[in-house]
Amino acid sequence: MRQVLEGSHAVSEAVRLAKVQVMSAYPITPQTHIVEALSEYCEDGRMNAKFICVESEHSAMAAVIGAASGGARTFTATSSHGLALMHELLHWASAARLPIVMAEVNRALAPGWNIWMDQTDSLAQRDTGWIQLYCEDGQEVLDTTLLAFRLAETVNLPVMVILDAFFLSHTYEPVDVPDQQDADRFLPPYSPRIQLDTKNPFAMSQMAPPPVYMEMRRNIQVGMEAVPGCFDRIEKEFESIFGRKYGQLETVSCEDAEIILIVTGTAASTSRHVLAELRAQGEKVGILKLKMFRPFPKDLIRQALCNAKKVAVVDRNFSFGASGIFAQEVRAALCNQPNHPPVFGYITGLGGRDVTPEILKQIYQLVKQTPEPVEESVWVGLKE
């Protein structure tokens, strides 16, 4: 049934529908309403789950690693500094091949203290072996969270579902919340291939010396390489039950587009509005919305961009000493393609700075007027 729901609570509803068995979280800022609602669901009986309230995000991840090793369906949520504190155990979760699902609210890192929208926190975790899925509205974040459990449990890798602070996490809008019956049809109970068992004791995650470590790492990559196909197959099933799909990425009006804007998160939604306006003025512009960042859907990106004259990446993040992170990845995906379009990088909307329709139109005009990229990144919306 469609109801007016906060973005954070859309995640909580998906976790309830997924019948998660163990959750753990640290409840202080930068934590969000996601786990607040879940702790209430555990208390009032709407969920039959164990909620472990811990003293730090590092412990929250440790607790779900333990529970997932014991064969439980697990979930946690965090943001910015909380995610940074988890870093060590993010590697652990993926290398132990545990299908943990985590919601991550994109918030900036300090100093200066800032609780607002910024993608650098999640992108700084790109090499930890987690699948990363970015969402643009409340419906997508609910659907993606539900789908994340299926995906994680299929490929035995953890999934991070990522949503913008405030512009999504604190925004109320109509969201269709599926029935439990349909959710059960889509997501059967988790049956782990391996789990700790007191009746048949064994050890997990032991020493892996040079003769075996490299193969273990290669196996994680093999798991990652299976993700796109699994994602498409699972999403097809999701669509047959719920009637909605998103894709690893989405292209809008790219077929005849001379300039394609690459966008993520809520900026993708705002750019759809801008696209309609620019197209009405006769501008040949298209949008590529990136949803999956790890694994990076490089083949789909190459296909989508091959006919464009120019590509502009809008990054709400920055890698100091380099450039916007999505732009880096797009450039790397294209570099060995003959005659690929030039990639322009734009940095905007850091630390909660608004990405308005005007900012996106300004970026479009900049890329249109500039024959070829001069700098790797152009910062848009800076004060003088």
The residues of the shown chain that bind other proteins, judged by CB under 8 A, are 4, 115, 136-137, 164, 166-168, 170-174, 266-267, 269-270, 272-273, 354-357
Based on CB atoms, which residue is closest to other proteins, 167 or 346? Answer: 167
How far is 374 from 323, CA to CA, in rounded Å?
13
* Nearest-approach distance from CB 253 to other proteins, in angstroms: 14
**Helices 33-44, 7-17: inter-axial angle, 10-degree rounding:** 40
How far is 340 from 301, CA to CA, in rounded Å?
11
Q: How far does the chain reach from its first CA to its final CA, in angstroms? A: 48
Q: Are 136 and 269 in contact (CB under 8 A)?
A: yes
Strand partners, 78: 104
* Nearest-approach distance from CB 140 to other proteins, in angstroms: 12
* Nearest-approach distance from CB 311 to other proteins, in angstroms: 22
Based on CB atoms, which residue is closest to other proteins, 115 or 378? Answer: 115
**Tokens 């953890």, located at residue:** 158
Based on CB atoms, which residue is closest to other proteins, 69 or 348? Answer: 348
* Nearest-approach distance from CB 25 to other proteins, in angstroms: 19
* Nearest-approach distance from CB 31 to other proteins, in angstroms: 13
How far is 131 from 149, CA to CA, in rounded Å?
11
Question: What does R_g of the chain's alpha carbons equal in angstroms?
Answer: 21
Based on CB atoms, which residue is closest to other proteins, 9 or 19? Answer: 9
Strand partners, 160: 102, 132
* Runs of H (alpha helix) within 70-179: 80-95, 120-123, 138-155
* Runs of H (alpha helix) within 281-324: 298-305
* Nearest-approach distance from CB 167 to other proteins, in angstroms: 5
* Nearest-approach distance from CB 334 to other proteins, in angstroms: 28
Element housing 363 (H / E): helix 357-369
Q: Are 328 and 293 in contact (CB under 8 A)?
A: no
Nearest to 360 by CA among 291, 290, 292, 269: 269
Based on CB atoms, which residue is closest to other proteins, 232 or 354? Answer: 354
Based on CB atoms, which residue is closest to other proteins, 137 or 329? Answer: 137
Based on CB atoms, which residue is closest to other proteins, 88 or 173? Answer: 173
